Amino acid sequence: MSGKNRVKMCDRCSQSAPILFRVKFEKTGNWIFVCRECWAGVSENNPFYVYGGTWKARKK
């Protein structure tokens, strides 16, 4: 069984990425998907950061 390629954009920089991270990074923020580059910026030294899982473009 071959995997299916899917496309999703980063909610911060609008670039497509093969792996996105579901996160909250503001006190009253909603869940968003961010790429690896944006993830580093929103997670580092952020007391409101919450990880909610990983989305992958190539699904089994």
Cα–Cα distance, 17 to 25 (Å, whole number): 19
DSSP type of residue 5: E
Cα–Cα distance, 38 to 13 (Å, whole number): 7
**Structural contact between residues 52 and 22, judged by C-beta atoms closer than 8 angstroms:** yes
Cα–Cα distance, 39 to 16 (Å, whole number): 14
| pLDDT tens-digit readout, 7-58 | 899 999 999 999 999 999 999 989 999 999 999 999 999 999 999 999 998 8
pLDDT band at 2, cuts 50/70/90?
low
Encoded amino acid at 5, one letter: N
Residues 6 or more apart whose CB falls under 8 angstroms from that of 2 comprise none
The domain ranges of the chain are 4-59
pLDDT band at 3, cuts 50/70/90?
low
